[in-house]
Amino acid sequence: MNAKVAVIGGGPAGLGAAVAAYEAGINPEDIHIIERDMELGGILQQCIHNGFGQLIFGEMMTGPEYASHYIDEVLKAGIRFHLNTMVLDISPDRVITAVNQEECLMRINADSIILAMGCRERTRYQIHLPGERPAGIYPAGTVQRLINIEGALPGRRAVILGSGDIGMIMARRLVLEGAEVEGVYEIMGSPSGLPRNVQQCLRDFEIPLHLSHTVTGIHGNRRLEGVTISRVNPESLKPMPGTERYVECDTLVLSVGLIPENELSEGAGIKLDGWTGGPIVDEERETSVDGIFGCGNAVHVYDLVDDVTKSSELAGRSAARYVKGETICREHVLSITAGENVRYTVPQHIRKQSDEPVEVFFRVYLEAANVKLQALVAAEVISEESRRVVKPPIMEKIILQGDLLPVDGEIIIQVVEK
């Protein structure tokens, strides 16, 4: 089977990328979306809460509504998609090997590939959570699937570790479905999810949020019986002896971070960024392997699906351009460096010479008020924006004007006080 554009993943990123490639002139028959689940939409189908679509549609949609907009576009365009299909391998020369029950084994020779696999949840083992290993400890996304898709309530009394958005949203869901949420515990000194979720998911339901606390023990051999909670030293983040408290619960929900899913990318020999966990991409979202593009949470974890869609539309357009042989010279590399109070940037470098503006996304390390976001070339500010406040949970971006960019060298992105 041949494809001009093969999209790995039918979630918001994959849908956006496929539609954009179609709109950029690729024949819909030549665009293939490969989705492992039984339907398109990805994680949005289980994100039944609202808050999606504000940037793109100017209204608050739920996840399934947002997904259905793009699914309709895919159907209307006649873009091909393969459901219940798991990609086993992507080769550096863009051969995709996948399996499903109808075609058995699929081999797709793709002119271009868009990686839109999304991300997975960090487990208790990755944060070294000590204790026993009973039933009842689930990542927030698994809880979300259990409750919203399967109609399964994981437990009667839950503790939530981590104040990521999904964790807070699931706190509210658990309460609405009749379970008790004893509290949300966050190791950092400020919530890691969006402020609005602290309000509408926790405060609205009088669920306590305990900052600078973590779980230091898991008890129960078979089903979870309780956890030990400890206060942590705000600087070292180490648990403080003597502050232990036993909390009875049958469920521990973990909302402790997301990791871009890139095992397939690695198999294709794509270089990953140690900070984002996703492929290193240029401003067109092309990875280190020719003709393979990345977008959405597979590249870096976004706060908002609207931004995922925008990134995927960019990747979709770029793939179309690549397929049509319209890619501009990419011999020079202008690297982007994370400067003061910037954890990472996406893209990591710019290598096409065009006058189009480039949006650089980044996250700050530390909350700061009254700051300037700056892009520097050779110690000279080429772009600057003001912010009343920047916070780690909120992704920032700065726009670089194409005509101000040098061909190669380095751009530094930094956040400094006004």
Partner 1 sequence: MTPISRTPNRDKIDSEVRQVPPDSRMGRRIAKKIRERVPSAEVDVQVEDGIAYLSGRTGTWNEYLGAGYAAGGMKGIRGVVADITVDGMPKKELRRPDRPKEVIKEDEDVIIVGGGVIGCFIARELSRYDLKVTLVEKELDVATGASKANNGCVHVGIDPGKGTLKHRLCLRGNAMFDKVAQELDVPFRRVGTLLVITDRTLPENVASKIPDSLRKLVLKYVLPHMVLLYGKRKNVPGLRKIPKEEVRQIEPNLTDDYHSAVLMPTMGIISPYELVIALAENAVENGVDLMLDTEVTGILVNEKNEVEGIQTAKGIMRGKYVINAAGVYADELAETAGAREFTIHPRKGALIIFDKKLAGYTSHVVSELLLGQDKHTKGGTAMLTTDGNPEWGPSAIEVPDRDDTSVTSDEIHDILKKYAHLFPHIEAGSMIRYFAGVRAATFTEDFFIGASRKASGLINVAGIQSPGLASSPAIAEYVLDILRAEGLGMEEKPGFNPIRESPPKFSELSVAEMEKLIREDTRYGNIMCRCEKVTEREILDAIRAPLPALTVDAVKRRTRSGMGRCQGGFCLPRLIKVLARELDVPLEEVQKKKGGKVISSRTKEGGQ
Partner 2 sequence: MSGAKEHILTCINCPMGCTITVKAKGSKVLSVDGNECKAGEKYAILEMEHPMRILTSTVKVKNGILSRIPVRSSAELPKGNIRECVRLLNDLEVNAPIDIHSPVLKDLLGTGVDIITTRSMERDGE
Tokens encoding 367: 């909350």
Whole-number Å distance between alpha carbons of 279 and 249: 39
- Residue 404 binds to partner 1 (criterion: CB under 8 A): no
Closest to partner 2 by CB, 76 or 196: 196
3-state SS, 235-301, equals CCCCECCCCCEEEECCEEEECCCEEECCHHHHHCCCCECCCCCCECCCCCCECCCCCEEECHHHCCC
Using a 10 angstrom Cβ sphere, with 0-12 exposed, 13-18 middle and 19 or more buried, the burial of residue 327 is: middle
Residue 86 binds: one of partner 1, partner 2, none (C-beta under 5 to 8 A by kind): partner 1
Going from the C-alpha of 151 to that of each of 46, 145, 159, 173, 227, the distances in angstroms are 11, 8, 20, 12, 26
- Residue 68 binds to partner 2 (criterion: CB under 8 A): yes
Q: Mask of contacts with partner 2, 167-196, x by CB under 8 A?
A: ---------xx----------------xxx
Contacts with partner 1: how many residues (CB under 8 A)?
52
- Residue 178 binds to partner 1 (criterion: CB under 8 A): yes
Interface residue with partner 1 among 28, 92, 134, 257 (CB under 8 A) is 134
Please give the residues from 195 up to 234 whose contact with partner 1 meets the rule CB under 8 A.
Answer: 216-218, 221-223
Q: In this structure, what are the phi and psi dihedrals at residue 149, rounded to the nearest 5 degrees?
A: -100, -45
> In 304-408, which ranges are E strands?
334-338, 344-346, 349-350, 358-363, 368-377, 380-390, 396-400
- Residue 109 binds to partner 1 (criterion: CB under 8 A): no
Q: Are 12 and 65 in contact (CB under 8 A)?
A: no
Q: Are 336 and 347 in contact (CB under 8 A)?
A: yes
Starting at the edge strand found earlier in the chain, the sheet holding 251-254 runs: 137-139, 251-254, 157-161, 180-186, 209-211
Closest to partner 1 by CB, 216 or 318: 216
- Residue 388 binds to partner 2 (criterion: CB under 8 A): yes
Whole-number Å distance between alpha carbons of 259 and 119: 5
- Residue 38 binds to partner 2 (criterion: CB under 8 A): yes
Whole-number Å distance between alpha carbons of 72 and 339: 42
The interaxial angle of helices 305-323 and 63-77, nearest 10 deg, is 20
Tokens encoding 202: 């926790």
Please give the residues from 196 up to 215 whose contact with partner 2 meets the rule CB under 8 A.
Answer: 196, 198-200, 203-204
- Residue 75 binds to partner 2 (criterion: CB under 8 A): no
Interface residue with partner 2 among 28, 37, 64, 257 (CB under 8 A) is 64
Interface residue with partner 1 among 2, 25, 133, 203 (CB under 8 A) is 133
Interface segment toward partner 2; rule CB under 8 A; list 24-32, 56-64, 156-164, 237-245: 56-64
Whole-number Å distance between alpha carbons of 370 and 408: 31
- Residue 303 binds to partner 2 (criterion: CB under 8 A): yes
- Residue 50 binds to partner 2 (criterion: CB under 8 A): yes
Interface residue with partner 2 among 1, 54, 92, 408 (CB under 8 A) is 54
- Residue 102 binds to partner 1 (criterion: CB under 8 A): yes
- In the complex, the smallest distance separating the C-beta of residue 389 from partner 2, rounded to whole angstroms, is 9
Interface residue with partner 2 among 5, 9, 15, 45 (CB under 8 A) is 45
Interface residue with partner 1 among 72, 76, 156, 233 (CB under 8 A) is 156
Q: Which residue has the tokens 């956040």?
A: 415
Q: Which residues bind partner 2 (CB under 8 A)?
A: 38-39, 45, 48-50, 54, 60, 62-65, 67-68, 147-151, 176-177, 194-196, 198-200, 203-204, 303-304, 388, 394
Q: Which residues bind partner 1 (CB under 8 A)?
A: 36, 84, 86, 88, 97, 99-102, 104-105, 120-121, 123-126, 128, 130-136, 138-139, 141-142, 145-147, 149-156, 177-178, 216-218, 221-223, 250-251, 263, 266
